[in-house]
Structure 1
Amino acid sequence: MAVLRLPSAARTFATALIGRLSYGTVFLSLTLALATGHGSVSRAGEVVAVFAVALAGLAPLRARLIDRHGIRRVLLPLALSYATALVGLAAATWRPATPLWLLELLAVAAGSAAPPLGPTMRTLWRTMCGEDQALMQRAFSLDTVAEEVIGISGPLLVGLLILVANPATGVLLSAVLVAVGTVAMMTSPVIGTVSARAAAQASAGSTEGGNGERRKGSGRTMSRSLSRILDILDPVSAAAGVGIGLGAQSLAIVAFAVRHHQPSAIAWADAGMSAGSILGGLAYGAISWRISSRARLPLLTAALGLSVAVAALAPNVWVLTAITTASGVFVSPLMACAYLVADELADERSRTSAGMWVNNAFNAGSSGGYAAMGPAIARMPLSWCFVVAAAPVVVGAGVAQAWRSRTGSRQAQPLSDATAETEALSV
C-alpha cells in the first residue's frame, strides 16, 4: 500500500499497533481475571466500569495535553504510567483477597493515564502525508481497518492465553504491549519532526503574546473549547449517532438470537459485521472520490442507518447475519471519513484533540445505545427495535449534513493572526 511506503510510515504504524493492541486485550483480560480470581462477575463489572469511565472521561484532556506540550513530553509518561497501573492490577487480581477499594483505585489510575495512541497516530499520518488528501484517505482507511482487526484479534489472543495461564497474565500482557509499543514508537523520526514543529510554534506564540495578553486570554478558555467542538460538529455528531445505533443494534441482535433459540449466532453476526467493516475499509481507501470528505460523511452515515433498519425484515438469524455483514461495509469507511473530516477542520495545534472527540463520541454513544435498548426490547416488537437503533444513525447523518450546509464547504484553513495568538496563549 502506498501509505506504508512513505518514509518511516511502516515503522511508526507497526509500533503504534503494538501499543494499541493493549486496548484489544485489556478489557476481556481484566474482566476474566476479576471474575475468576475473586469469584464475582458483579465485582468484575464494577471495576471494569470504573476503568472505562476514567479512560473515556479524561480522554479529551490527555489529547489536549499532547496538542499543547508535544507527543514525546506527554505520550511516553502516560504510557509508562498506564503500564505501571496495569502491572499493579495484574498483581492485585492474582490475589483473591485484594480489597475492592484497591482494585478500583488501580483501575482509576490506569484509565486516567491511558495513552491516546490512535488519535496520536492519526496526527502522525497527517505529518507523513502532508496535504495529499488522497494519501490521507488511504492512511485513515488503513488505520480504521487496523483498529477493527485489533478488536477481533485482541479477545482471540486472550482466549488462547487463558488456556495455558492465569487470566491476570492477560492484564500483564496488556501492560507490556503498551510500554513496548510506545517506547518503540518514540524512536520514529516522524515523532521528532512533529515535536520540533510543535516547539517552534510554541516559541513563536510565546514571543507574540506577552504577559498582559496571557492574562486576558485565560478568561476565554471555555469559549475556545466550545468553539473547537462546534468546528468539528459534523464528524462528532455522525460518530455519536453511529455509536448509539450500533450499540443498540448489538443488544437487539442478542435478543433476536435468543428468541430464535440460536445464541451461537450472536458470534456469527458480530464476525460478519467485522468482516464487512474490514472489506469496506479496504475498498474505501482504494477509491478515488469525486466529492469532498464532508459531503461523503452524511451519505455514508445515512447508508449505514438504512442498512441497520433493514434488519427489521430479517426472518431468521442467517438473514440477519447477512444484513449485519452488509451493514459492516459502511462502518470503517464512515469512521475513516469522520476522522479525516475532523483532521481537515481542526487547526494544527488541536488535531489530536479533534480525533479524540470523534473517538469518544462513538464510544460514549455505543455504551449509551446498548443501555437504552434494554427497556426498548422489553416494551416493543423486536423488529421495531432495529428501526429504533437506526434512528440515531439517520439523525446523526442529518445533523452532519445540516451543519455542513450551515458552515459551507470550509476545509482546514490557516488560523487568523488573532486566533493564532489566542490559541498560543492557552498553551
Structure 2
Amino acid sequence: MSLTASMAPAPRITFGAVLGSPHVARLLGGTLTGRLAGGMAPVAIVLWTLTTSGSIAFGGLLSALYGLASGLSQPVKGRLMDRYGQTAVHLTAALLHSSLLLALPVAGPHGGPALATAIVVTAGLSTPALEAGLRALWPSVLPDARLRHTALALDTGTQGLLYIVGPLLVAALASAHSPTVALAATAAVGLAGTLVVASAPPSRRWRPAPTSTDDGPARRLASPQLVALFVSLTGIGFAIGALNVWAVAMAEQHGRDMLSGLLPAAFSTGSFLGGLVYGRRAWPGSTTRQLLASAAAFLTGWLPLLALPGPYTATIAVILPGAFLTVVVACAYVTTDALTPTGRTSEAYAWLILSIGTGQAAGTALAGRLADHALASAALPAAGAAFALAILLLARPGHTPTGRGQHRRLQPGRSTPT
C-alpha cells in the first residue's frame, strides 16, 4: 500500500450509511415506536381519569406515579438483561405493560382509586427498557466506532420528538374517539415496537460480555467517577423538568395556551437538530472534553432566559440548549460505557436514564412551587445546568492523568476499550 493511500482521509460517515447498515433501521425504528408509548401513556392516563372521576389532580397523580415507577424499575430490567439476554425481558415486560393499559378502563372504574393506582404503578414498573437495550446493542451491530458515533447521535437526538408526537397523537385519538381508545392505541404501539426489536436477530443473539476475574474492584458498578457522572446528569434532567413548568407559566402569563407545548417542542427540535449536526462528523478532543464543553454550552444556552424574554424570543432561545442536550447525553453514554465493567452495561445505561428522570421530576416539582415568581422560574433550568457542569468539572469522569485507569480509556470517537 502506498503512503498516499494510507494517509487518505476516511470516507465520510452519513446517516444514510448508518441506517443502511444491517438491522440498524429496524432496531432504531422499533425502539422509537415502542418508546412512543412512554410519551402517550401519561397523557392518556390523565384524560381517562377525567372521564371517569373528573379529577385532574388524581389524573396528575396517576401520571406521575406511572413515570416514577417506570424510571425506578429501569436498573432492575437492565440487570435482568445483563443476566438473561434481551428477548425474554423485553417481551415479558411489553406483554404485561400492554395488558395493564388495556385493563385500566375495564377494571379501574369498578375497583375505585386504589385499583386504578395499582394498575398504573404496575404498568409503569413493567415498561420495557428499550432505550438501555438499544444502547447495549450498538457495539455488536456497528463495530465501526465512527458509525456508532453517528447512530448514537441520531438515536439520542430523536428521543425528544417522542414527547411531541406522543401527546399530540393521544389528544387526537381522545378527541376523535375516547381516552379508552387512546389507552388501547398506547398499548398497541408499545407492544408492536417491542416485538420489532425483540424479534430482531441482534437482540435475540445479544449476550453481555462475560465478566473477567481480572477486573477485581472494577466489577463493582458504583465507581466514584460513574456515580459523579450520574449525579451530574440529575442536573440535566432538572433543567428539562423546570423548562416544562416554565413553559406553562409563560403560557398563563401571556395568555397564550399554545406556549405550554410550543416551548418544549422548540427545545426538542433543537435537540434533534443538534443530533444531526453532532453525528455527521468526528469532533476534536477526548470524549471527556466534549462532555465538559457541551455541558458548558448547555448552561450558556439557558442564560438568555434570565432576561425574561417575550414568547417569540423565548421560543427561539430554547433551541440552543436543546441542541447541546443531545451532545451531553451522547457523550455521557460513551463515558458510561468506558467506566462500566464488562457484563454490566445494560444496567449502567438504565441508571443513566434513571438519573436524568429523577432530576426531571425534581425540576418539575420545584418549578411548580416557584411558578408564580417569574425570575426564579426562568432561572431554574440554568441552575440545573450549572449544577451538572460543576459536578463534571470537579469529577472529570473518564479522565485519568496517567491514561491508565481501572476502566477503559476514553478516546475521541470511541466507546470501546483501547
Question: Which band: TM-score by shorter chain?
Answer: 0.7 to 0.9
Aligned to 1:243: 237
Aligned to 1:391: 383
User: Structure 1 pair 410/174, CA: closer, same or farther in 2 (3 Å)?
Assistant: farther
Aligned to 1:54: 69
CA contact (8 A) 1:307 1:327 kept: yes
What does 1:8-407 correspond to in 2, within 5 Å? Answer: 8-93=23-108, 96-130=109-143, 132-195=144-207, 201=210, 224-227=220-223, 230-378=224-372, 382-404=374-396, 407=399
Deviation for aligned residue 1:300 = 0.8
Structure 1 residue matching 2:29: 3-state secondary structure: helix
User: Structure 1 pair 90/231, CA: closer, same or farther in 2 (3 Å)?
Assistant: farther
User: Structure 1 pair 406/287, CA: closer, same or farther in 2 (3 Å)?
Assistant: closer
Moved more, 9-18 or 353-362: 9-18
Q: Distance in 1 between matches of 2:354 and 2:315?
A: 27
User: Structure 1 pair 28/376, CA: closer, same or farther in 2 (3 Å)?
Assistant: closer
Deviation for aligned residue 1:27 = 1.1
Moved more, 383-392 or 185-194: 383-392
Q: What whole-Å deviation, never above 9, does each CA across 1:255-279 have from its counterpart, x for those lacking one? A: 2342333343333222221211111
Structure number with the higher helix fraction is: 1
Deviation for aligned residue 1:32 = 0.6
Aligned to 1:422: none
Q: Which runs of 5+ in 1 are unaligned?
A: 210-216, 416-427
Q: Distance in 1 between matches of 2:274 and 2:339?
A: 24
Aligned to 1:212: none
Q: Which runs of 5+ in 2 are unaligned?
A: 1-14, 410-418
Deviation for aligned residue 1:187 = 2.2
Amino acid at match of 1:52: G
Deviation for aligned residue 1:57 = 1.8
Question: Percent same amino acid at aligned positions?
Answer: 27
Q: Distance in 1 between matches of 2:183 and 2:364?
A: 25
TM-score (norm 1): 0.84
Q: What whole-Å deviation, never above 9, does each CA across 1:307-347 have from its counterpart, x for those lacking one? A: 11221114421111111122221122222222222123223
User: Structure 1 pair 265/388, CA: closer, same or farther in 2 (3 Å)?
Assistant: closer
Aligned to 2:416: none
Q: Distance in 2 between matches of 1:376 and 1:164?
A: 36
Deviation for aligned residue 1:405 = 6.7
Q: Distance in 1 between matches of 2:230 and 2:195?
A: 31
Q: Distance in 1 between matches of 2:287 and 2:399?
A: 14
Moved more, 340-349 or 23-32: 340-349
Structure 2 residue matching 1:348: 3-state secondary structure: coil
CA contact (8 A) 1:310 1:323 kept: yes
Q: What whole-Å deviation, never above 9, does each CA across 1:224-272 have from its counterpart, x for those lacking one? A: 3533xx3423542332111112222332333234233334333322222
Aligned to 1:420: none
